[in-house]
Structure 1
Amino acid sequence: MGYSAALRRRTEQTGRPIRVGVVGAGQMGSGLIAQICQTPGMTVAAVADIVPEKAVAALENAGLTDIVNAGSKLDAAHCAVAEERPVALSDGLMLPELDLDIVLEVSGVPEIAALIAYTCITKKMDVALMTVEADITVGPLLSRMANAGDSVYTICRGDEPVECLKLVEYAEDLGLTVISAGKGKNNPNRPHSVPADNEAEAARKNMNPRMLTEFTDGTKTQLEMAALSNATGFPVEVEGMHGREVNVAELAEQLIPVTDGGFLESDGPVVEYVTGDVAPGVFVIVKSESDVVTHELDYLKLGKGPYYLFYRPWHIASIEAPLSIAEAVLNRRPDFQSTTVTTEVVARAKSALESGTVLEGMGGDHYYGWAVPAEKARREKLVPIGLLNSATLTASKGTDEFLTYNDLQLDESRPLVAMRRMQDTLVAKGVI
């Protein structure tokens, strides 16, 4: 049974659609709200944004009426949900208090996303994240908490890590051996790219220059592939990954062991990204270990074995997110969790940084992300990139140098830092 049929049945049985609360009414959040409202069997019951008028506008643009702007008034929000009137709020932490089925976080801010997820899980409410940066930082902790209780924690369908994981699962279900898995990147890395370099392009794309810089400096790709690594347990073969220019037609010839003509030093499986014509798609390279199966796959024109390409040429972000809502609420299963600590994304200086510098967040002037084995990050005390916003350097750093715990002062009162400290302790104890 597909989700649409199951959602119709659930609505008939319960007398109401799945009630979704959304945190964040920016560009992505607004599109997501509209998409949910187009999905039979779902409705957006509440939207929280620091500017509640933006939440009202997002609900109106999705075609909803009779909207209540409750601001910070929880009692008014309770009444609105009970009366089946969509409600706008000023604080996402109010959503787990309401009679909702799931909270969907699309703030784009790791600190907010992690705190929303943590609060939902402690309130026994399902929660889905669109902010992969939060999952990279504390995802294993949140997954363990949710899985030990009565809620579902998941990263949403539609982004590359999740869609690539689905290809991995498909290949493994067929009994094929995964050699490499990853995504296409739209452009080569420019690690020292800063917002000032991207202002014109950001204006053309109606984007914040810092958001665009997180893509151009490679941080976003490092984060996404590290998330895939932690969901599958597949490592990166080299720090930062190879990142070579490889087109779709060459993937099954290049992302294989060097002994068979590719450039991978290992037999896999590994996580990787490429430039070329692969973006916005995701891929998995598999190997057939059976001569009979190889013959059959060749006959079916999948390629010339024993290596084959499974390729999905698109990912459609917020459009696919309702699939994860349905999977969580109907089937009580997550689409994507970071269940291992295999890879960390740490920070390298974009330029010489002086002691006393208060660090900006990702996509700023100060650092870019770099994927490394988790063992190296622990051994060398490299700081997870998600913790660095507003940290103060206590030592000068040269261009491309790694930032370590010895180089800076973190604000230990931040919930994200506290959650990460807890996760690190559990990892050290072997619990995660």
Structure 2
Amino acid sequence: MSYSKRLQERERATGRPVRVGVVGAGQMGSGLVAQINRVPGLVMSAVADIDITRAEKALAGAGAEQVTTTDDLTDAAAAIERGQSVALSNGMALTKLPLDVIVEVSGVPDVAAEIAYAGLIAGKHTLLMTVEADITVGLLLAGMGNKPGGPIYAVCRGDEPPECLKLIEYAQDIGLQVVVAGKGKNNPMRPTDTPTDVADEARAKGMNPKMLCSFTDGSKTQLEMCALSNATGYPVDVPGMHGVACSVDELALKLVPEGVGGVMSTEGPFVEYVTGNVAPGVFVIAKSTNDVVTHELDYLKLGKGPYYALYRPYHLASIEANLSIGEAIIDGRSTFHPIGWTSEVTAVAKSDLAAGTKLEGIGGHHVHGFTVPATDAKAAGAVPIGLIAGCTLVRDVAAGATVTYADIELDEGRPIVAMRRLQDAMLATGTLG
């Protein structure tokens, strides 16, 4: 039975729909708010944004008929209990309201991590669309949640990593061996791009230049594939991945071992990305290990074995995110979360950086993301890119060099830093992952 039908059954059984709160009412958040309010069995109870007028507009766009605008927790809770929707300016307030699920869509790692931590402590299912937080402290968050009968922590459906994981599960369910899993990248790969470089393009597209830069400098792809790596245990084949130009028809020809004409060192499994017409889709390269099955798959025109490409040509971002709410509420399971700490996204200098520079974060002028094995990052003392924003350099860093903890002054008072320190300590003692 579909989640929408099962959510309706739950509403009939409990007397009310699942109450959902969303943090962040930008383009992605507004789309999510509108979609949630269209799903039977769900109700959009609260939206928080630092610009409260955006929260109000998101609820209006979702068709919410009775909206209370307030930052008073007592008034907000009473409105929700009456079946109304609430607009607030403080995302942390959602962790104290009578909500069943919180979905974090701010895009800011510090905000996402703090809200996720507080939401889980409060016993609420907490779902992220901010993958930047997941690749920084996601293992800690997953360890706090995802226990029988407890709150669920997950990265939402709709982005490439969770949709790729669904393809991986499908390949495994039909008895195929996964060799490579990943996504298509539809932006150019220009690691030294800055927001200034892409300002005109961003203006034409109606985008924030920093957001566009996070795509064109490759950081977003590195983040997403790192998240997939940690959710599967599949490493990168080489630091930063191969990133070959590849069409859909070439996937099962290029993303195979070198010994059979491809670019991969072995049969993996690995995470990887390609450029070309594969975007905005996700893929799995799977191998048939049985001659009878290979013959059947060839006959069914999946390709010419033993390597085959399973391909989903789209991902629907916020439009699919509510599927993760169904999984958490109905099935009591997480769509997507780290199962270990396999890979790390490090911060690489885009240009020569002088001591005293206050570093911008992901998509900024100073660094781009680069995925390496987590053990290599630890050995180098590399700073996770999710912690880099606001740090001050204490010595010069050359263009192309990886920023290390020894290079920066790190604000230990930031919650995400404390969470990362705890995650590192628990990994070191074997009590996590």
Global fold match (TM > 0.5): yes
2:404 is aligned with 1:409: no
Q: Deviations over 1:12-67 (max 9, x none)?
A: 11122111001011111111100111111111001111122211111111111221
Question: What is the DSSP-based 3-state SS (H/G/I as helix, E as strand, rest coil) of the residue aligned with 1:389?
Answer: coil
Q: Could you list the runs of 4 or more consecutive aligned residues of structure 1 that deviate by over 2 angstroms after TM superposition?
A: none
Cα distance in structure 2, aligned partners of 1:356 and 1:399: 16
**Residue of structure 1 in register with 2:429 after alignment:** 429
**Residue of structure 2 in register with 1:242 after alignment:** 242
2:239 is aligned with 1:221: no
2:169 is aligned with 1:189: no
User: Which one-letter code corresponds to 1:375 in the other structure?
Assistant: T
**Residue of structure 1 in register with 2:86 after alignment:** 87
Question: What is the DSSP-based 3-state SS (H/G/I as helix, E as strand, rest coil) of the residue aligned with 1:195?
Answer: coil
Q: Deviations over 1:60-94 (max 9, x none)?
A: 11111221001x21011011011111011111111
Cα distance in structure 1, aligned partners of 2:8 and 2:83: 18
Q: Deviations over 1:201-255 (max 9, x none)?
A: 1111111000100000000000000000000000000000001101100000110
**Residue of structure 2 in register with 1:363 after alignment:** 363
Question: What is the DSSP-based 3-state SS (H/G/I as helix, E as strand, rest coil) of the residue aligned with 1:240?
Answer: coil
Provide the identity percentage.
Answer: 57
Question: What is the DSSP-based 3-state SS (H/G/I as helix, E as strand, rest coil) of the residue aligned with 1:196?
Answer: coil
Cα distance in structure 2, aligned partners of 1:311 and 1:206: 30
Q: Deviations over 1:389-415 (max 9, x none)?
A: 000101101111110011111000000
Cα distance in structure 1, aligned partners of 2:264 and 2:96: 50
**Residue of structure 2 in register with 1:121 after alignment:** 120
Cα distance in structure 2, aligned partners of 1:76 and 1:224: 39
Structure 1 unaligned residues grouped into runs of 5+: none
Cα distance in structure 1, aligned partners of 2:379 and 2:41: 49
Q: RMSD across aligned C-alpha pairs, in angstroms? A: 0.9
Cα distance in structure 1, aligned partners of 2:83 and 2:67: 10
Q: How many residues align?
A: 431
Cα distance in structure 2, aligned partners of 1:44 and 1:223: 29
8 Å CA contact retained: 1:25, 1:48: yes
Cα distance in structure 1, aligned partners of 2:188 and 2:270: 20
Structure 2 unaligned residues grouped into runs of 5+: none
Per-residue deviation at 1:148? 4.3
**Residue of structure 1 in register with 2:103 after alignment:** 104
TM-score norm. by structure 1 comes to 0.99
**Residue of structure 2 in register with 1:325 after alignment:** 325
Trace 1:166-315 onto structure 2 (pairs within 5 A): 166-315=166-315
User: Which one-letter code corresponds to 2:76 in the other structure?
Assistant: A
Cα distance in structure 1, aligned partners of 2:263 and 2:402: 27
Cα distance in structure 1, aligned partners of 2:15 and 2:204: 46
Question: What is the DSSP-based 3-state SS (H/G/I as helix, E as strand, rest coil) of the residue aligned with 2:344?
Answer: strand
User: Which one-letter code corresponds to 1:116 in the other structure?
Assistant: I
2:408 is aligned with 1:385: no
Cα distance in structure 1, aligned partners of 2:5 and 2:25: 29
Question: What is the DSSP-based 3-state SS (H/G/I as helix, E as strand, rest coil) of the residue aligned with 2:320?
Answer: helix
Cα distance in structure 2, aligned partners of 1:431 and 1:378: 18
Question: What is the DSSP-based 3-state SS (H/G/I as helix, E as strand, rest coil) of the residue aligned with 2:242?
Answer: coil
Question: What is the DSSP-based 3-state SS (H/G/I as helix, E as strand, rest coil) of the residue aligned with 1:336?
Answer: coil
**Residue of structure 1 in register with 2:160 after alignment:** 160
Per-residue deviation at 1:296? 1.3
8 Å CA contact retained: 1:172, 1:178: yes
User: Which one-letter code corresponds to 2:140 in the other structure?
Assistant: L
Cα distance in structure 1, aligned partners of 2:187 and 2:249: 18
User: Which one-letter code corresponds to 2:2 in the other structure?
Assistant: G
Cα distance in structure 1, aligned partners of 2:360 and 2:208: 15
8 Å CA contact retained: 2:31, 2:318: yes
Cα distance in structure 1, aligned partners of 2:300 and 2:135: 39
**Residue of structure 1 in register with 2:340 after alignment:** 340
8 Å CA contact retained: 1:139, 1:339: no
TM-score norm. by structure 2 comes to 0.98
Question: What is the DSSP-based 3-state SS (H/G/I as helix, E as strand, rest coil) of the residue aligned with 1:44?
Answer: strand
User: Which one-letter code corresponds to 1:247 in the other structure?
Assistant: S
**Residue of structure 1 in register with 2:130 after alignment:** 131
Cα distance in structure 2, aligned partners of 1:292 and 1:61: 54
Per-residue deviation at 1:188? 3.0
Cα distance in structure 2, aligned partners of 1:163 and 1:122: 28
**Residue of structure 1 in register with 2:373 after alignment:** 373
Moved more, 257-266 or 207-216: 257-266
User: Which one-letter code corresponds to 2:193 in the other structure?
Assistant: S
User: Which one-letter code corresponds to 1:272 in the other structure?
Assistant: E
Per-residue deviation at 1:147? 2.6
Question: What is the DSSP-based 3-state SS (H/G/I as helix, E as strand, rest coil) of the residue aligned with 2:46?
Answer: strand
**Residue of structure 2 in register with 1:12 after alignment:** 12
8 Å CA contact retained: 2:25, 2:47: yes
Question: What is the DSSP-based 3-state SS (H/G/I as helix, E as strand, rest coil) of the residue aligned with 1:344?
Answer: strand
Per-residue deviation at 1:260? 1.3
**Residue of structure 2 in register with 1:76 after alignment:** 75
8 Å CA contact retained: 1:195, 1:365: yes
